[in-house]
């Protein structure tokens, strides 16, 4: 018995020794993309290639989670950066020249290589620069629907190495990072929210807002999925949300206010349309968002465009007695 116990102990110790490094090996639940299909694909010229003359930063967000930015308010583009013993995970880039700077900054300050890159959605302004990090050996993950526009629009960005449908997990440096996609769409049909449970933080680019009106006329817009996404974000109840732009992180309270603004705007535009108002009359009668005139950024720039975008959605999705 004694011998058996000793053997078991020895076997257990051996197993721990073998398992321990593997438990911290970077991994993910996404699926590989056959990159050979897209080898040598045609891309458009990259306007951000030599454009380093912009403000850029890498600042603490919470604990070992940082925020990278390029460009100045209100045209700032941003994404979160997780630093671990096993390397860095970076969300989006937004400028090819700044991506080279950020790679060196992460190496100099944290002695870390970029292991994972998450592409939030297939819009060039957020993904420019991801090619730099893929060329340096990072694994690029996106939602499956991102492939079609990246290839079809000839975007000068990394073709994803791995894709997922609705949910995926990345393990890096002993931390679990969660990727979420709303299949009904929101801002594009390839959007990914990235949750960092240990830091109670989230990347919710373009769909979430931090005391700002949503961008212009809701380009690449899916109304029902946008509301479902905001409901899901509210359920996660994280402390800090980076919205991919501007300066300040959003809170769950900001997302509740945004959801209520968008549902009000939708209800008003639908009701006024049903009253038979034409566009010139309709937009002047919308009151949604007036309460945030001084509190949120963009009342003058965004709100009328918001009404226009919502009108376009509503007009495309209703039919009366005809």
Quick note: the x/- pattern for Zn ion over 150-189, rule CB under 5 A, is ----------------------------------------
What tokens were used for 94? Answer: 């937004």
Nearer to Zn ion, 241 or 282 (CB): 241
Report the interhelical angle of 223-236 vs 252-274 (nearest 10°). Answer: 160
Nearer to Zn ion, 194 or 282 (CB): 194
Task: From residue 190, give the alpha-carbon distance in Å to each of 111, 165, 231.
Answer: 32, 9, 18
Nearer to Zn ion, 123 or 144 (CB): 123
- Pairing label, strands 31-32, 56-62: unpaired
What tokens were used for 124? Answer: 């060039």
206 counts as binding Zn ion under rule CB under 5 A: yes
Nearer to Zn ion, 283 or 297 (CB): 297
- From the CB of 238, what's the least distance to Zn ion, in Å? 21
Binding residue count for Zn ion, defined by CB under 5 A: 2
- From the CB of 149, what's the least distance to Zn ion, in Å? 11
- From the CB of 104, what's the least distance to Zn ion, in Å? 27
Nearer to Zn ion, 123 or 181 (CB): 123
- From the CB of 138, what's the least distance to Zn ion, in Å? 21
CA contacts within 13 A on the Cβ side of 313: 26
List of residues 6+ apart from 295 with CB closer than 8 A: 211
Nearer to Zn ion, 123 or 266 (CB): 123
> What single string gives the DSSP state of each residue in 82-130?
EEETTEEEEE--S-HHHHHHHHHHHHHHH---EEEEE--SS-HHHHTTH
Beta strands per DSSP E along 24-104: 27-28, 31-32, 56-62, 65-70, 77-84, 87-91
DSSP state of 296: S
Nearer to Zn ion, 94 or 173 (CB): 94
- From the CB of 12, what's the least distance to Zn ion, in Å? 51
245 counts as binding Zn ion under rule CB under 5 A: no
- From the CB of 155, what's the least distance to Zn ion, in Å? 12
- From the CB of 69, what's the least distance to Zn ion, in Å? 16
92 counts as binding Zn ion under rule CB under 5 A: no
Nearer to Zn ion, 86 or 206 (CB): 206
Only segment of 31-39, 133-141, 165-173, 201-209 that touches Zn ion (CB under 5 A): 201-209
List of residues 6+ apart from 298 with CB closer than 8 A: 74, 212, 213
123 counts as binding Zn ion under rule CB under 5 A: yes
Number of H helices, E strands in the chain: 9, 14
68 counts as binding Zn ion under rule CB under 5 A: no
- From the CB of 202, what's the least distance to Zn ion, in Å? 17
Residue ranges binding Zn ion (CB under 5 A):
123, 206
């Amino acid at each position: 018995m004694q011998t058996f116990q000793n053997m078991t102990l020895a076997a257990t110790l051996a197993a721990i020794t073998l398992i321990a490094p593997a438990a911290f090996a970077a991994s993910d639940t996404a699926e590989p993309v056959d990159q050979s299909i897209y080898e040598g694909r045609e891309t458009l010229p990259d306007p951000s290639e030599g454009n380093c003359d912009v403000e850029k930063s890498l600042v603490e967000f919470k604990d070992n989670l940082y925020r990278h930015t390029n460009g100045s308010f209100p045209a700032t583009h941003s994404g979160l950066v997780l630093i671990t013993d096993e390397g860095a995970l970076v969300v989006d880039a937004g400028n090819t020249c700044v991506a080279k700077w950020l790679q060196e900054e992460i190496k100099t300050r944290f002695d870390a290589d970029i292991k994972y890159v998450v592409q939030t959605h297939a819009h060039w302004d957020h993904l420019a620069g991801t090619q730099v990090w893929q060329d340096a050996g990072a694994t690029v993950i996106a939602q499956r629907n991102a492939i079609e526009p990246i290839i079809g629009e000839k975007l000068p960005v990394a073709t994803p190495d791995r894709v997922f449908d609705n949910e995926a997990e990345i393990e890096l440096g002993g931390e679990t990072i969660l990727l979420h996609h709303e299949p009904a769409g929101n801002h594009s049909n390839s959007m990914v929210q990235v949750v960092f449970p240990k830091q109670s933080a989230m990347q919710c680019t373009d769909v979430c807002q931090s005391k700002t009106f949503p961008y212009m006329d809701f380009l690449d817009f899916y109304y029902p999925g946008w509301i479902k996404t905001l409901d899901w974000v509210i359920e996660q109840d994280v402390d800090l949300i980076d919205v991919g732009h501007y300066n300040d992180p959003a809170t769950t309270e900001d997302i509740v206010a945004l959801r209520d603004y968008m549902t009000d705007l939708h209800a008003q535009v639908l009701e006024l349309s049903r009253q038979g108002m034409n566009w010139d009359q309709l937009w002047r009668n919308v009151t949604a968002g007036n309460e945030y005139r001084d509190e949120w950024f963009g009342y003058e720039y965004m709100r009328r465009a918001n009404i226009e975008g919502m009108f376009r959605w509503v007009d495309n999705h209703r039919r009366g007695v005809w």
